[in-house]
Structure 1
Amino acid sequence: MGEVHRLTLGDVLGEHRRSRPLGIACVDGDVRLTYPDLDERVNRLANALAADGVGAGDRVLWLGQNSFRVLELLLAAARLGAICCPANWRQSADELAFVLGDLTPRVVVWADSEEVRKAREMTGGDGGAAPDARWVRSGDEYESYVEAAPAGEPAAEVAVDAPVLALYTAAFDGRPNAALLSHAALIAHSMSLLHIRQMENGFTFLNCGPLFHVGTMMFCLATLQLGGTNVFTPAFEAEEVCRLIEAEKCTQAFLFGPMIDGLVQANQSANHDLSSLRFVSHSPEWDAMITVDDSPWCAAKMGGYGQTEVGGMLTFLGLGLGGAGHAGRPSPLTHVRILDADDAEMPAGEVGEICARGQSVFSGYWARPELSAAKSAGGWHHTGDLGRREADGTITFIGPRLRMIKSAAENVYPAEVERALKTHPAIADAAVIGVPDERFGQTVKAIVRLADDADVGADEIVEHVRSQIASYKRPRHVEFAESIPKKGHLPDYDVLDERYGGGAYPGT
């Protein structure tokens, strides 16, 4: 790609310095930075990082709560061709030590905590995983670090497809993986989100959700892309969020049901003016406090399907309101296929893996070449999630693929059967495994936890599933259990296999 087509995150900031010299880029406590202020600080920080050896492809790690410094670090990394990772500060020392050893950052910017100190001790020194990292403490040390560096823009050549942001994803296989998102992918996702959310001049986003989560980060970056204002608060605290919405006239915030209920309760006595917030309808009390927004994003109650590896959202319900699929239609800069285990496209109405390609798709995982290759097999990003394209073209999200059961010649995904099981009013929880079968190779077994005082037999459960999905996917065996063992928020299938006779999965 020629220079005339170049647009990096650093370029976005540089244009705002010129075109929005009076615009407020960041608010964080007493800190208020215009776009020229932010641009100068980012240059100084980039030069300080470069002096510590940070260059193209090197990693910079943030260990702390939300701060305007997260955005500064990301943009400074962008100016150098480096990669910024805001890590989950809520993790244990062992988990943080894993991130340090896995990412091997050149510079770590950290907020003091016992867990971070323990992780540093575990990974530093002789034989440690990150003995050479420069550690800069957030606060006065960080400010001195920035101020001491020159203000000129670094002369580094940065490719638009170079990764710039690393976000660790859920550890479904036992350890997390850092998904790498490029300048081009983040800008493309921001443009799609801008369109669906109908973000306009003056848009102000309150970063009250964690910036290590793509749900907050995607709005932070879309706000940057637009030249709006990002307001930062360390973590969600209901009374402070109400105060900030009123004080900074916030347009949007990272909020979901329980958080909204907390704001309603906190604001009953404080009586802050929240009318600047153009947000999703939730309850009569909430709707009376805010301005209910009619953009496709808010009208669809922020619905759709997404994951870190696609920059946030892959499909938007706002593009499919009234359609059969509750995940809507793909983002304008991506396209989606529903593929079977052999990467053949499934017809409408059939379940397969949601696969995607397009401008917002990630660049692979840090230091995971085999996993990255598997995820991009055949030129499509394999999300690991199941879905179905409906007859009207909209998408329905089913659930994680995790493993597949092969019964005769048919592929059966546990998540689809579990979804059908849980629609029965007597079933509180359920999991599905494959058990060996001489005739079919495997058959489907359902492990079911009934709701309190419920009384239902196995035959009724099987017939209920048959009414929901194809007959060959129904359980041939049902066992009742007092609880379903979990690994995180998902069933622990290894324990279930051992306990209930699972096995003979394809490829094993």
Structure 2
Amino acid sequence: MRLIDFFDRGVALDPDRLCLKDADVARNFGEVQKRSYRIANAIHGLGVGPERMAAVYSPNAAVAFECVLGIIRGANVWVPINARNVPAENAYILDNCDVEVLFYHSEFEDNIALFRRECPKISHYICIDRAGAGASFLEDVIATAAETDPDIAERRDAPISIFSSGGTTGRPKGVLWTNLVWETMIANFYTAMPTRKPPVHLVIAPMTHAAGGIGIMLMAAGATQIILPGFDAAKVVSAIETERVTHLFLPPTAIYVLLAHPGLREHDFSSLEHFIYAAAPMSVERLKECLDVFGPVMSQTFGQAEAPMLCTYLSPGDHLVIGDPAREHRLASCGRQTLLTPVGIMDDDGRLLGPDERGEIVVRGNLVMPGYYKNPYATREVSSHGWHHTGDIGFKDKDGFVYIVDRKKDMIISGGFNVYPSEVEQVIWGHPAVQDCAVIGVPDAKWGEAVKAVIELKPGAKVEADEIIQLCKDRVGSVKAPKSVEFWDSLPRSPVGKVRKKDIRESFWKGQARAV
């Protein structure tokens, strides 16, 4: 199937159902479909045909979502541009991905001059909310475009989007997603999370990442997208209650802030069916708190840009293990492999490992990208032994539940012992005074690397470093316990909310001849 066929299925279910809603716009499925026709035809009218690149640079907004659908409708390649990236990084992504048409929000007008200098392949700038400086206004561009479906035949292996990988370890790589990658992800999604009624999806995290992907997938079931411009705990809990939200996604860092919101338990969350969390390890203690506050609706997925979102799945039912000593440890897992995506654990020699053996998590199947855009070397680097190598260290238990121990590159070697930071972070996250933390290796004359915890406390909370160290010694032993603790007002985070552990680590390794 073409990716746009899934949206059209949602239209066919009920063209009058509300499709997109934000502070300025509320349109039903039929109206959004017609606007996607016009946007697709307008792009082609500019001389930018199928399989050529177009990008959307905007905060979360209904009109931005319509532009994405128009790009997909025209069989062009959607290049998501994260509004939270620094402008120079977005300029690199736009140029590296050969973008020719840029839809942008006037909030970013000041950055367009940089793009004009650094991105010579962009021939058309279209402002989505007003006329821009030297740019066209979207409504003027589509006013004369045909309101008919261009109905372009597409190959299953044709690229339809280019997502950016991380960007925390160097310049981001363009990850190719084909119609088949999307089809596989959508099939995994609905077998994991079947819908009982038309969903209501709250879009909070950037729509250029998981929240947008989930939104597109849910549209096949006629989902209404309630769009917030960003994360605000008070607005999130209010929207869940008033809009009767059934689905939402947040990374753990945002969930921790949500749990600390005063008056959280005064709201009605009974409409929720799937509260999806992913993108980073989740504190088991906070997860238990989520189950107490929101009920049996927590759903975890594991994936990455190269194998998007649904390699594994931990269902709401899998979370109902509190108090069961034989199964409660599963709360630290990311679930079992999804229907169409085999998951294995592999050693450095390409040998698949057995239960409870630690190695690199590898995946294969049609969910895996066909490669990085214009980067065959990097593609080969992650594709040895017939599997995609995620760069994550983990293991599978005898029941098939996958546990992520750490990123391969984050492992600390202290005195010859391997220390996996996430194991220590799980302990620290469980302390009631801790908002978030990062455990890293720092240079040490005796041990080579010493374990250090950098902690962000909850507002108004206090705790002594010795208490944190003793807690870790009691839970994971002296070897893994931090040798030192620092408290920072806030931890550096990436545009998608992940703690930038690399930046924290580099601050302690400056001036060193080696970084290990």
Q: TM-score range by the shorter chain?
A: 0.7 to 0.9
Which residue of 1 is the match for residue 145 of structure 2?
149
When residues 201 and 264 of structure 1 are mapped into structure 2, their CA distance, relative to the original with a 3 A threshold, is farther
Per-residue deviation at 1:422? 7.6
Which residue of 2 is the match for residue 233 of structure 1?
228
Aligned pairs for 1:364-443 (under 5 A) are 364-402=371-409, 416=420, 419=423, 423=427, 430-432=439-441
Which residue of 1 is the match for residue 466 of structure 2?
454
TM-align CA RMSD:
4.3
When residues 68 and 242 of structure 1 are mapped into structure 2, their CA distance, relative to the original with a 3 A threshold, is same
Aligned pairs for 1:271-282 (under 5 A) are 275-278=270-273
Per-residue deviation at 1:145? 1.7
**Aligned AA for 1:394?**
F
Deviations 1:412-453 (A, max 9, x none): 865x26735985999x8653489999xxxxx96434459845
Which residue of 2 is the match for residue 138 of structure 1?
128
Give the conservation status (yes or no) of the 8 Å contact 1:17–1:36: yes
Pick the aligned partner of 2:45 from 35, 48, 51. 51
Per-residue deviation at 1:218? 3.1
Which residue of 1 is the match for residue 180 of structure 2?
184
Give the conservation status (yes or no) of the 8 Å contact 2:10–2:222: yes
Query: CA separation in 1, counterparts of 2:487 and 2:356?
Result: 32
Per-residue deviation at 1:103? 2.4
Query: CA separation in 2, counterparts of 1:373 and 1:347?
Result: 25
Which residue of 1 is the match for residue 258 of structure 2?
260
Structure with max Cα Rg:
1
Which residue of 2 is the match for residue 32 of structure 1?
26
When residues 430 and 12 of structure 1 are mapped into structure 2, their CA distance, relative to the original with a 3 A threshold, is closer
Per-residue deviation at 1:317? 2.0
Deviations 1:29-79 (A, max 9, x none): 353333222222111111111112322332211111112233323322223
Structure 1 portions without partners, runs of 5+: 1-6, 438-442, 469-473
Using the aligned pairs only, state the percent identity. Answer: 20
**Residue aligned with 1:384, SS:** strand
When residues 481 and 257 of structure 1 are mapped into structure 2, their CA distance, relative to the original with a 3 A threshold, is closer
Per-residue deviation at 1:284? 12
Query: CA separation in 2, counterparts of 1:18 and 1:276?
Result: 25
**Aligned AA for 2:77?**
I
Query: CA separation in 2, counterparts of 1:405 and 1:448?
Result: 10
Which residue of 1 is the match for residue 65 of structure 2?
71
Which residue of 2 is the match for residue 86 of structure 1?
80
Give the conservation status (yes or no) of the 8 Å contact 2:7–2:216: no
**Residue aligned with 1:211, SS:** coil
When residues 434 and 360 of structure 1 are mapped into structure 2, their CA distance, relative to the original with a 3 A threshold, is farther
Structure 2 portions without partners, runs of 5+: 131-136, 277-285, 322-326, 432-436, 455-462, 494-498
Pick the aligned partner of 1:311 from 305, 308, 311. 308
Aligned pairs for 1:316-327 (under 5 A) are 316-318=313-315, 320-321=318-319, 322=321, 323=327, 324-325=329-330, 326-327=333-334
Deviations 1:451-490 (A, max 9, x none): 84529999x999997x69xxxxx79xx9768699999622
Give the conservation status (yes or no) of the 8 Å contact 1:191–1:222: no
When residues 218 and 394 of structure 1 are mapped into structure 2, their CA distance, relative to the original with a 3 A threshold, is same
Deviations 1:10-38 (A, max 9, x none): 22233333342333322233533332222
Per-residue deviation at 1:133? 2.5
**Residue aligned with 1:89, SS:** coil
Pick the aligned partner of 1:162 from 154, 158, 173. 158
- The 10-residue stretch of structure 1 (367-376 or 256-265) with the greater mean CA deviation from structure 2: 256-265
Which residue of 2 is the match for residue 121 of structure 1?
113
Aligned pairs for 1:196-211 (under 5 A) are 196-211=192-207
**Aligned AA for 1:446?**
A
Deviations 1:212-268 (A, max 9, x none): 222x12320231121221222322344544554455432223345245347664896
Give the conservation status (yes or no) of the 8 Å contact 2:465–2:486: no
The count of aligned residue pairs is 467
When residues 180 and 434 of structure 1 are mapped into structure 2, their CA distance, relative to the original with a 3 A threshold, is farther
When residues 284 and 235 of structure 1 are mapped into structure 2, their CA distance, relative to the original with a 3 A threshold, is same
**Aligned AA for 2:115?**
T
Query: CA separation in 1, counterparts of 2:438 and 2:68?
Result: 41
Query: CA separation in 2, counterparts of 1:456 and 1:275?
Result: 36
Which residue of 2 is the match for residue 471 of structure 1?
none
Per-residue deviation at 1:403? 6.8
Are 1:341 and 2:348 counterparts?
yes
Pick the aligned partner of 2:10 from 16, 25, 34. 16
Per-residue deviation at 1:119? 3.3
Per-residue deviation at 1:387? 0.7
Give the conservation status (yes or no) of the 8 Å contact 2:391–2:407: yes
Per-residue deviation at 1:392? 2.5
Aligned pairs for 1:239-254 (under 5 A) are 239-241=234-236, 244-254=239-249
Query: CA separation in 1, counterparts of 2:33 and 2:485?
Result: 59
